[in-house]
Amino acid sequence: MANPANGCSPYAHEVANKVVLVRRGSCRFVTKARMAYWANASGLIVMDDMHRGEPGFNATDGIDDNGRWEVRMHSDDSVHPSGDFPQEAHLPPSVFVSYASGRRLERLVQDMSSSQHLHDVLVALNTTAEVYQPYTEDLGILELRLSTFIDLVYTMLPFMGYAYASSFCFVLLSTFYARAVETSASYTKQYVRRSIWRRLAVVPYGGPLHHGYTCSICLDDFVLGHPVKVLPCPHAYHQDCIDRWFEKGSNACPMCKREAFS
C-alpha cells in the first residue's frame, strides 16, 4: 500500500521490488506510474476511489455493455524517453481494479501486517483476466526437499556401487558353492557305494546247489572253487563281472533288480 494513498508524490516507505496499491484520483495515471518507477516498484495497481455498484449510484454507471469497468488509464502526455523522463519507456506494468477488489487487497495486506506473516501478498499481472492461484506449499520447502534428496542420492552412489558389487559376488560365490556341494555329494555317494561293494564277501564257488550254474553277466559257467561274490539277494557273480557292473553306477542286482546296498 502506497503512502500517500493516492501515489501522487514520492513514497514515504520502501517499496522496491514490490507491487504498489494506490487509489485513483488527485493526479494523472502516468504520474502515479512515475512515482512507482522512481521508487523501483515492480508494478502498480490503481484501485477505483468509489464503489460504483453501491445503492445510490446508477447500476450501469461506468460499466460498458460487456460488463467491464469502462475506465481507461491514459494520459494527455506522450509517454516516451525525453530529457526530463529518459526512462519512461520502462515504466512498471500497471492495472486498474474496482473499488471492491482494491479494498480486498487492502484488508489482505493489513491482515498480513497485523499477524506478522512471514510472506508478502503474491500478485500476478496477466492479460487473460484469470485469477492466479498460487501453490499452497512453500516453494522453498520443495526446493529444500529436492536438494536434500539429490544430496542423498549423490552420497549413496558409492555405497550403492559397493552394494551391487557385493551382491554380485555373493550370488556368484553362492552358485559356485552350491555346485561344489552337489559335486562333492555325488563323489561321496559314489565313494561310499564303491567301498561297500568292494567289501562284499568273496567266497569260492561251491556248486549249483548254492550259487547256480552260470554268471548272468558274462554267461560263463562257474568253475568249482573259483571266487565269486554273493549279493544279499542272494545271487552270485564272477568277482570281476560284478565289480565292473557296480563301477558303471548301478546299485541293483542284474537279475532281480533288488538293491544290493543303500
pLDDT over threshold 50, residue 146: yes
Judge residue 66's burial from the number of C-beta atoms within 10 Å of its C-beta, 0-12 exposed, 13-18 middle, 19 or more buried: exposed
Give me the amino acid identity at 10: P
Q: How many beta carbons lie within 10 A of that of residue 15, not counting itself?
A: 21
Which has more pLDDT, 58 or 205? 205
| pLDDT score of 235 more than 60 | yes
Q: Rounded CA gap, 194 and 57, in Å?
A: 118
CA atoms of 199 and 229, how far apart (whole Å): 10
Does the pLDDT at position 208 exceed 70?
no
State how far the Cα of 122 lies from the Cα of 120, in Å rounded to an integer: 6
Report the pLDDT value the prediction gives residue 258, as an integer from 0 to 100.
83
**Tens of pLDDT, residues 239-249:** 888 888 887 77
pLDDT per position as a tens digit, 53-101: 644 444 444 444 444 455 565 555 554 444 455 455 577 888 888 888 8
CA–CA separation, 84 vs 74, rounded Å? 19
pTM of the predicted structure, to 2 decimals:
0.40
Residue 159, SS3 per DSSP: helix
β-strands 227-230, 202-204 pairing? antiparallel
Q: Which residue has the cell 502515479?
A: 32
Q: Compute the residue count for the chain.
A: 262
pLDDT at residue number 1: 74
**Mean pLDDT, rounded, of the chain:** 74
The grid cell for 247 is 563301477
pLDDT > 70 in the chain, percent: 69
- Give residue 128's pLDDT: 58
Write down the pLDDT at residue 153: 80
Grid coordinates representing 251? Answer: 546299485
Asked if 228 contacts 202 with a C-beta cutoff of 8 angstroms, the reply is yes
Long-range interactions of 205-212: CB distance < 8 A, separation 24+: 205/236, 210/236, 211/236, 212/236
pLDDT in tens, 88-107: 557 788 888 888 888 888 88
Mean pLDDT of 128-136: 53
